[in-house]
Amino acid sequence: MNIAVNLGVGVRQSLTISREMVQAVEILQYDREELAAFLREQVEKNPLLRMKDRAEAAPGQGLGERWRRDSGDRAFATGAAGDAPDIASSIGEEVTLSAHLHLQLALVKCTPEVRVRAGQVIDSLEEDGYLRQDPVKLAELLGCSQDEMDAAIALVQTFDPAGVCARNLAECLQLQLREQGELRPAMAALLTHTDLIVKGEVKRLAAICGVSESEVRVMLRKLRSLDPAPGRALDCTPVCPALPDVLVDLTPTGALKVELNPDLIPKLLLDRSYHAEVSSQIREKDEKSYLDECMRSGALLMRNLDRRFTTMLRICREIVRRQEAYFRHGLSHLRPLTQGEIAQELGIHESTVSRATANKYILCSRGLLPVKFFFSEALGGTGTDGLGHASETIRRRIREVVDGETPEKILSDDVIAALLHGEGIDIARRTVAKYRSQLKIPSSADRRRLARLECA
């Protein structure tokens, strides 16, 4: 076997992504909480960076002050920075379902073993209050006997809100009826046949429960008054409330004004004077190199933050320009718009638009809306501007059509599609069915059954 080593020259292309580009991409796609955490980390690592307090008066040195100066008058706040409304303070602190149940557990009398298991059961509940894990498997997982698990579940089921810790809908309704003292044998029998309830089989239910059809209708009305998801009255997992990144308002002249929310712009300061002062006293080469690197990385961070907010503002201003009719007249005027169109207009990549709008919000007279809300593909037909119909507008129209139904006239998906055709919207029956499903609207057959029950 011969082994030969040859030396050759070749050309190869490769893409190198700079540190600045990587950081710019990351900062652009962060939501406000992720950005705040990232900046805290950078401030801890870099002695030249610090978060500036609102009380500090020196203007023009921090990122927040520069943006406030460049953006001019604000749409939703007037006066000094300290006078800006605290949007978060208007959102009340909510008690979670878990905390609510754990508080009751702390006050109830029970054995230490049951208390521990009941706490574990509470931690296993889903946000609607249901226990969907198999109790047998849960007992094995927690290393306890089935009797201990059953006792823990029974205890939690006595807590408020009534119906919590149920394993299915029938048990949830049973718990609520028991708490109200209305779980009679006929009602218990009724709840064992939820399939017949959904189908509206009043005659069969009357025979099964041993009561008249009129009594079945009374019981069905009672069931409709109960809460099928008692846990949703309380948040199971606390979430950080959404705050607007961009504010849209009408000026006195009637123009639409688009501004960054100044309360979400970090008050970050790169202390150049401190760098100059310390540099003049340093003699060691390594220390000077470290300090210079801190200055370079700090300046890079400031540039990337500036790029983030500039890009967000440019994109949102273009969205508002294209969706002006929506902001003035409402959802029926929402036009089709893609991220690619915005990217082409601004001369940036579509992925940049996607990152800059992810988990960002716009506050306008029509509420707090995700920026992504304004992007939707055109769907058949033409609107008043000849640009087609946004899918969100069509979903809203389907909702309006269904809400306008009467018990005697329930419309099928085919009829709804034909109705929309008459309004200039070219839509297939299967698309109507898809949008109806997204809106959580039952099928026409189920709506007819529910209408019969309502009229019973």
pLDDT (tens digit per residue) in 149-191: 999 999 999 998 889 999 888 899 989 988 888 888 888 888 8
Contact 25/303 with Cβ under 8 angstroms? no
Q: Categorize the per-residue pLDDT at 455 as very low, low, confident or very high, splitting at 50, 70 and 90.
A: low
**Domain containing residue 410: CATH number:** 1.10.10.60
Q: Which of 205, 233, 261 is the last residue of a domain?
A: 233
In percent, how much of the chain has pLDDT > 70?
80
In a domain, 268, yes or no: no
| Mean pLDDT on 361-365 | 88
pLDDT in tens, 249-258: 999 999 999 9
Q: Which residues contact 148 (CB under 8 A, 6 or more apart)?
A: 113, 114, 117, 139
Into how many domains does the chain fold?
Answer: 2
CA-CA distance, 434 to 37, in Å (whole number)? Answer: 39
Tokens of 428: 């297939």
Q: Which of 233, 252, 279 is the last residue of a domain?
A: 233
Torsion angle (degrees, nearest 10) of CA 71, 76, 78, 81: -70
In a domain, 270, yes or no: no
pLDDT value, residue 342: 94
In a domain, 189, yes or no: yes
Tokens of 227: 């809460």
pLDDT value, residue 11: 62
pLDDT value, residue 10: 58
Q: Categorize the per-residue pLDDT at 302 as very low, low, confident or very high, splitting at 50, 70 and 90.
A: very high
User: How many other CB atoms sit within 10 Å of the CB of residue 218?
Assistant: 12
Q: Is the pLDDT of residue 50 over 80?
A: yes
The parent domain of residue 445 ranges over: 378-455
The count of residues in the chain is 456
Across all residues in the chain, what is the average pLDDT? Answer: 79
In percent, how much of the chain has pLDDT > 90?
17
pTM of the model: 0.51
In a domain, 80, yes or no: no
Q: Is the pLDDT of residue 114 over 50?
A: yes
In a domain, 84, yes or no: no
In a domain, 109, yes or no: yes
Least trusted range by pLDDT, from 228-237, 251-260, 412-421: 228-237
Q: Is the pLDDT of residue 59 over 50?
A: no
Q: Which of 206, 233, 260 is the last residue of a domain?
A: 233
Q: Which of 89-93, 332-336, 368-372 has the highest mean pLDDT?
A: 368-372
In a domain, 342, yes or no: no
Q: Is the pLDDT of residue 237 over 50?
A: no
pLDDT value, residue 141: 78
Q: Which residues contact 339 (CB under 8 A, 6 or more apart)?
A: 350, 353, 354, 357, 375
In a domain, 271, yes or no: no
| Mean pLDDT on 85-108 | 64
